[in-house]
Structure 1
Amino acid sequence: MEHLGTVFEMGKAICAPLQSLKENEDILDKRIEELSCRESDIRADLEREKLQYGKMPKREVELWLKNVQNTKDKVHDIKQKLGEVSWTHIQLRMHLAKEVEEKIKEAVGLKENGRFQEGLVVDLLVGSTETFPPIKIVGETTALKNLQKIEECLMEDEVGKIGVYGMGGVGKTTIMTHIHNKFMKARTFNSVIWVTVSKESDLKELQDRLSKALSVDLSNYRDTLCKSAKLFEAFNRRGKFLLILDDMWSTFPLTKVGVPEPNQENKCKIVWTTRSKKVCRGMCSQRTIKVDALTKDESWTLFKEKLGTDFVLSPEIEPIAKAVVEECDGLPLGIITVGAAMRGVDDIRIWRNALEDLKNSRPDLEGLEDDVFSCLRFSFDHLKTQIHRDCFLYCALYREDDQIGCDSLIEKWMADGFFDEIEDQEKGFDKGYTVINDLKDACMLEKGELGDFNRSFVRMHDLLRDLAIAITRKSRQFVVKVSSNVGKFPRDENLMDDVIRVSLMYSSNIELLSCQSKCLKLSTLILEGSRLGNIDHLFFEHMQNLRVLDLSDTDITCLPQSLSNLVNLHALLIRDCWNLTEVPSLVQLTELRELNLSGTAIKYLPDGMDSLTNLSPWPLCHKNKWFILSHLEELSMVESKWKWSSNEDRNGRGAGVEDIVRLMHLKKLLLDFVDSSAFSSYVRSRHWRGLNCFLLTVGDVYFDPEEIRDVFYSRECVVNVSDGDCNSVAFPKSNLTHLLITCLHNLSTIYMEEPTQGDNLANLKRIDIDSCPKLKYVLSVGWFQTLQNLEVIIVSDCRAMEEMVVDMGDMGEANNNIPITLPRLKRLSLYFLPNLKSICKRTLICSSLEEIVVLNCRMLKMLPFSINSLPSSLKQIKGSGRWWDSLEWDNANTKMHLQPFFSERLDIIFQRREEDQERQGTKRKADSIS
């Protein structure tokens, strides 16, 4: 009996894990769920830190995430085996039971280790991952020698501060871009930070630029000492950094700015470029490197390159050309601009005249480096036409190093009368872009660093901007005080008589705009971004020639009544004046072409438009009725407090949808509608067919000012409809490029009828649909076949959707064999569509498709690709492993070909949301029964 008892105890001990297996399985599920929640929170935090601050996860965090994934994979395998192993396989089940116990402990340990009290991220991303576009170094021997000197200094432990100096246009910035790119790729430093300082920068401006480069928010700090402390902390977090300060004009105490002093302990380095050796001394450079001009041979090689590799100089012209190059004194910028100006010239008389012009141009630029500017002045004088010269000089109204949007620049040129002989706006833009291209070809403007397929930018080399300001200052036609502390303006009324253009862009402390002189010639006044105190009520009294008035992004609360006197005004830009509540009567502004009121606080549109002589013969209404200029071409009021509805809803106050429809000359329209009914009323008018671009919104929609500008200066046609209980909405068709629909709770279909002849969505590039619980499908096959330029489809949280693309009516099985081609589709993303069974019953041919994301679409069992139509451009497929394994394929080889692109993403983010909704549905059902 004693032996039997021992055997019994042994058996009990052996079988104990089996007895508690079911209980432990439940415990393991809970522990894995808790671990997954922590993992999800950490991933969300990492994503936010990356997007907002450019930070990267710590190595220990990456390792933890990897371990979590491994544990979850093993748990998945264990549970799968438990489901497959019969209860009679006691030994195998005992082994699995022990593994369950181990994984419980492992999950608990991982959850505890996932607290990361010292933070999740490091500051490696900001300033250290993006390289500048490669710029060819000219003068290989000289430039490479300078490059090597700087690199050697950066590798010396005892050298922390390096000064690089040389004359303007000699190539300092180009050399430093190569340094930036090389050390960023080499990862010698934790962070490589580039800040362009510029001539106009003071201590505050430098701190602001540093904060932008470091992604540090200083908006709550006004005191420079507090700002420096915040910057100092941000630099120290980066550890070993390389800071490049390009184009220094004056000295700054590093500690006062907020930059730590480099030393052998922190191994940080600071390099500044400047035109003055004195600045290097003032900044206490431990090494000073002069960037020399090009040698004669290098200069000649560069010049011939700019003339064109296929251009051969005659024996008579070549010595003159070499003399021309000598006048450029080894300055790369000068050689490039002069070479561009003389490209294709084979007349010896023109070459002799060019040499004479270069020799004689120096005295024209008082107080400037004559040797540097003579060749630049030559290039200016040899621009194609006076229009080209005027357009070039206009760019000096912007800040140094500004990225200037080409569309906004051309609009100002047009409004200022540069292309008055061209009546058609579209042709005016074509002319403007041609001028910009000519100026870039002449190396008088550079391609901007910003820009995408919608917008292009240019920038002005600081030397060329100095040239433009010098030319305009001599003629007394420009006043340029950008990013300055202005005070009263103008200080001397007598100096304003000949002025035609004034820019006080982004200037501070403008106490009062007061002008008693007549200013009869003034045509452009730019105050964008300035901190205005007040505008004298008579300020615009004698500015009848003013054509461009830009008050965008200022703090003004009201506009003076004298604004009504600007009878020749073509462009009135009051964008992002968030405190502006009222605009005076525009009754006399009969020449107005562009009116931008986006981002203002006006509640009613200006009165008094009914007496305009150029208005169409509309019926006169109530005296407070606001009539829009009949020939207005651009109207932007999105993100203002004005919401458009039908005229009947206005109660006699302000303009409505019907008034917009009467504007037959309108080309750009950015509006917020009060509801979907007003929006549909406008869409049904088909007025939008005549627009080049539009942004039409309904509901609680927020657009960043930069997004609004992107639409305004593009050919995009965007619709964003949100928050409505309507069953149906009328949407534009033919020229729509982006359709965004969110939170339309009763919407069941988008385009209800099938397309007829002439109807198509050929311009549509992007579809975003979110939180439309009754939407049954996105588009019919008929509409889907017209999407030849579609690039992105994102559909999420549409619980009723069973089929994304549906054949309307009984189309027959034969039609299912006809494929649909979407040649430009790059991304297909589907989230939380619990009842979706089919993307499309027909095969899709998507030759440009790069990414497929499917999360929480558990009923979707097939992808619409056959072995003969697999996208060759595919880079990744994201979804849960369970969903991927459940997919059905028309051919076993299809999955085999797609498998390498699949990467697992868990559905856990949406599981709790789905369960909550299911619980709420059960509760509502129970409540209704009770």
Structure 2
Amino acid sequence: MQAEVRLLDLVGAMEDLKAMRNSVLREIELQEGKGKQRTQKVQAWLDKVEDMDQRTNQLMIDFSRCCVTGCCSLNIYSRINASRKATNLKKEIDELMKEKIHLSVLAKRRLSNPIIDMPISTTNVGIKIGSNLCDVCNWLAAERVGIIGIYGMGGVGKSTLLKEIQRSKDVLNMGFDYIIHARASYELHAEDLRDCIAEQLLLCEPSREAIFKFLKYKNFLLLLDDLLEELDITVLGIPDPHDESCVTTPYKHKVVFTTRSKKVCDCMKADEMIKLECLDKDEGWQLFKENLAIDLEGMPFIEEAARKVASFCGGLPLALMMVGQAMSKKTAPAEWNLMLDQLQGRLSSSLCETMFIYLKGSYDSLANETLQQCFLCFCLWPKNKLILIEDLIKCWLGFGLISYFDSISEAYMHGCYIIKVLEEASLVITHDNRTVVEVHEVIHDMAQWIASRAEGDHKAWFVKQNIIFEQLSSEEMETWIQLERVSIINCDMNSLPELKRQCLSLLSLSIQHNQRLENLPKIFLRQMPNLTYLNLSSTGIDELPTEITHLFNLEFLDISHTRIKSLPHELGNLKKLKCLLCGYLFLGKLQAGLLSNLCNLQVLDLYPYGCVEPKELKILRGFKSIGMCASSYEILQQLSHLPIVNINIQEIEGLRTIQLSSLTSEGHGWPKEFQIRSCTTIQNLVITQGTKISLKFLRLFHLPKLGSFVWRIELKEVLPVLQLVQIEECHSLTSLHWVLHLPLLRALLLKNCDAMEELVNGEVGEIEEDDVITTFPKLKYLTILGLPKLVKISHCALDFPHLSEVHLEGCPSLKRLPFKPGIVNNRGLLVKCEKKWWEKLEWDDATVPSQFCSNSTEDEEIANFFVGGVPPLGHKDFLGIFRFDEVML
């Protein structure tokens, strides 16, 4: 009877275990329906349960057979043996039930490849790929290098380089016992990565301890792809190559990882880093052809279309490979025309949507929604367009994405931090010492793709750009009813049709750089009553529409660089207005009482000609940013109590000396743009020790007695970010040698300075003892007009490493240009001057003038001489970047 009792206990325990197994299976089915997969531990437990069920059934069958044979001694022995087996099986079932309790995770996120696999080149294409691979191989061979980081924007070829490293003969010959390749992402956790690593190492137990114990005394190379944030590799069981206990061993422990963020490289303490850039035009074409798999010889139309398609990919390897493979072996002209149409309107292309899903990882990696919305704001600018960082920050201010700041300088610093974060995420590229920013055209298309599918403030967009036309179509205007963000930039239109219906969803309207647009339809603004952001800058509008007073929710208004000469008193009805930008308008004094009615106003820019009644200046003390004109002693004396950003001192007589340190207090920061105009008694401009200036633009006009600049501090410290110096009609000024080494000076414009004989007086060596420092390190534009006594620019030849345009007229005494022989290597250097004067120039090196070509006829007095094959961007582009007022020139 004892055997029967134990067998019954076994069957009951087995039924309980099977019920537990069925519960686990139901939970796993639910998780698998959500895209997860059962863990290895759970599957092992389920296999043990299945084995236990079979063993239990077999024991019951054997016991029933022995009972049929009768009660002989053999039967008694079998019953005792069955009883003992039942007891042991019951113990194993109890252990399995306890083991189930410790299975806290039944299913995990599916371990898989990215949504799309990065196409891999079958050969090393281009100099960059081979060079990067060579660098990594050299670093892997070096004892001091343990961790290598590879970073760059999505699709630039990081995964490709990692796989090239994995199969490189040089790496295979380095004696690694194991080369482990794992992909990290937000979809995978440390446990998933340990499973992947353990599987490649053929370990039964994917624990941290087991992996560490196995690898500590092995030579290994870990290739970790697509790391989106900092990861402690010791959590994976990987011995840290920087750990002393690992460094002192004779074993090679190496880690190479890829990421989209330089910040991750820093956090991972990479010993060496590589930033992958887009391919140049020739390399991009070679990669495209490789994936195209078509012999283009004898097919000129296909080759022409293929080059156009390749150019749309902007040197991004992912785009070149995917589009090339999609067009592989297609020889029908209609197929290529269709692809061109898809690329010109990428959002309709399923191929490009697949690519955007891959690229979106950089966007998803941003820490919060505010950063993501800051990035999506790039949708408001055209593709392939450099964007002034200040314009971008103003946009973020207007949208409330930068909201907490005590001064405009603090807001600007916050904006620069955001740009740095976006750059580290490989979403944007900064140029010209972080003054302008651009987005790769494929990343720009991805942003539009995201914005078109997003919810909330950025769920609907309309962008019109780079088109010359008379007006928007009525059909396009009708779509505004569903939109929240509308941007019309550089369209050169002369009118807008009237909106027939109200656009209640519209929150932001930006109509910029449309000089032919002189007015808005009468009821235009009334049809968008919920507007909070309105940008009409750089248009031909000469009067602010009275309908603006119906925009009761308006918080941001930019009418800078327009022809508007006065503000309506009714503007005071906009109680929610926080930011009013009127820069470069011929505004006079604001109407009395207007500022007191704008109770929420924090940012006011009336620079350079607009000003405030002296008795209302006390209202401005609570503001965060002010730009204005100071045309009296009374206003000038109060500047130190105001947060001045841009200041124009104009027509104040009796001033002999101006000290920049007296214009504003340290708590408010220092002006970014400083102008003095028509102050006929000023003799000296003084900057004293302790002055910290963020001055970017310095303009001096009609200061006939200004004879000297007094610098009582190192120039590089006092003017570290000065980009523009413009001086006109300063008839007593004899030299400007202090501009020689300004680190960021991009433009120098001199006009009608009668007394100047030498721009940089004395020997260069006398000015700067350290001859390693380059002269004019960033200067791009040099304009000298109407300096009749100018004999020489400098006593000796100067460096101009970035010079692209020189304009010289009205300098009859100037016989030599201070160009070193190497100046001819400057790509696209343009010299605009009088042709007869050019022909009479004297040269220390006779080969210099022979390098220049003229694009003028013999009849023209003014000729353009350029070197480098193609003339550089003209003055208009430069003026557009720096926002020169044409009247000033």
Q: What TM-score do you get using the length of structure 2 for normalisation?
A: 0.44
Larger Rg: 2
Q: What TM-score do you get using the length of structure 1 for normalisation?
A: 0.42
